[in-house]
Structure 1
Amino acid sequence: MNPFIYVLSVNGLMFLISVIFYFFPPKKINSLYGYRTHRTMQNEDIWSFANGMFNKVLLKYAAISFVAAMGLAYAYPNLMTSWFPMAFLFFTLLVCILSTENALNEHFDKEGNRKTRK
């Protein structure tokens, strides 16, 4: 398979999804679309915060992943036909989830209430 097509189908699709999520975030809590965990679906405040944070981080890291994978596909075309584009995708999602969960822990308690600043 052509490495550029492979990168476009994996990392390019993730970047496209991140653009869609960024410009069309979910408005209300739902079970189909958005950053859905038990915690984020507790109330509208935490839902809006989590989806806003996740969408920003996803757009940033999906773009970085896409550019890096395309660069590697250009520099090392034989290397990019293996698992590297999927590894970029996996690490992008991992970083986005961990960043969002850390931000949720900083701003909300376990019940979904905002923490007060001291």
Structure 2
Amino acid sequence: MGLNIFLFVCNLIIPVIMLFFGVKFRKHGPENINGIYGYRTSMSMKNKETWEFAHEYCSKLWVKLGFIMLTMSIIVSALAFTLVGDVQGIIEILIVTIQTTVLIISIFPVEKALKKNFDEHGNRRY
């Protein structure tokens, strides 16, 4: 039973982090462009405007995705508790794999929005 609870908590880490940073970036994104903390890509770090845009866009996306993944993870993990042996472990690993994939894929819509709204030098398109 202890392992089940541990796996359940592990499955909540990525969605909770996405929700946390989604809310945090919406209200208080990193003030200065830096290479340590925040949504850091070459496009988002062009200038202050691209930096703020990327964090605002990413925050909205991560709140939505984090909420969806948290809900689904709770439901699937609860159902997996009823299974025995290796099947439960495989399901838990699949959940984390899907969450990690969603987290990585979330970069693409942010970059697409940046390219739609800014040119390659970081100047806003009108």
Normalised-by-shorter TM-score class = 0.7 to 0.9
Counterpart of 1:40 (choices 39, 44, 49) is: 44
Output the aligned Cα RMSD: 1.8
CA contact (8 A) 2:73 2:95 kept: yes
Using structure 2 for the length normalisation, give the TM-score.
0.78
Going from structure 1 to structure 2, the CA distance change for 1:69 and 1:31 (only over 3 Å counts) comes to same
Kindly provide the CA deviation profile for residues 61-115 of structure 1, in whole angstroms up to 9, marking residues without a partner as x.
Answer: 0111111111111123344522212223223213421111111121111111111
Q: 1:50 Cα deviation (Å)?
A: 0.4
Structure 1 CA distance for aligned equivalents of residues 80 and 10 of structure 2: 18
Structure 2 residues not aligned, in runs of 5+: none
Instruction: Give 1:62-73 correspondences, 5 Å limit.
Output: 62-73=66-77
CA contact (8 A) 2:80 2:88 kept: yes
Q: Greater CA radius of gyration, 1 or 2?
A: 2
Using structure 1 for the length normalisation, give the TM-score.
0.83
Q: Between Structure 1 and Structure 2, how many residues are aligned?
A: 114
Aligned residue number for residue 52 of structure 1 = 56
Aligned-pair identity (%): 25
After superposing on structure 2, the runs of 4+ consecutive aligned residues of structure 1 that deviate more than 4 Å are none
CA contact (8 A) 1:62 1:92 kept: no
Structure holding more helix per residue? 2
CA contact (8 A) 1:72 1:80 kept: no
Structure 1 CA distance for aligned equivalents of residues 56 and 79 of structure 2: 35
Counterpart of 2:65 (choices 54, 61, 67) is: 61
SS at match of 2:69: helix
Whether 1:9 aligns to 2:10 is: yes
Kindly provide the CA deviation profile for residues 10-47 of structure 1, in whole angstroms up to 9, marking residues without a partner as x.
Answer: 4x222332233222421111111110011211100000
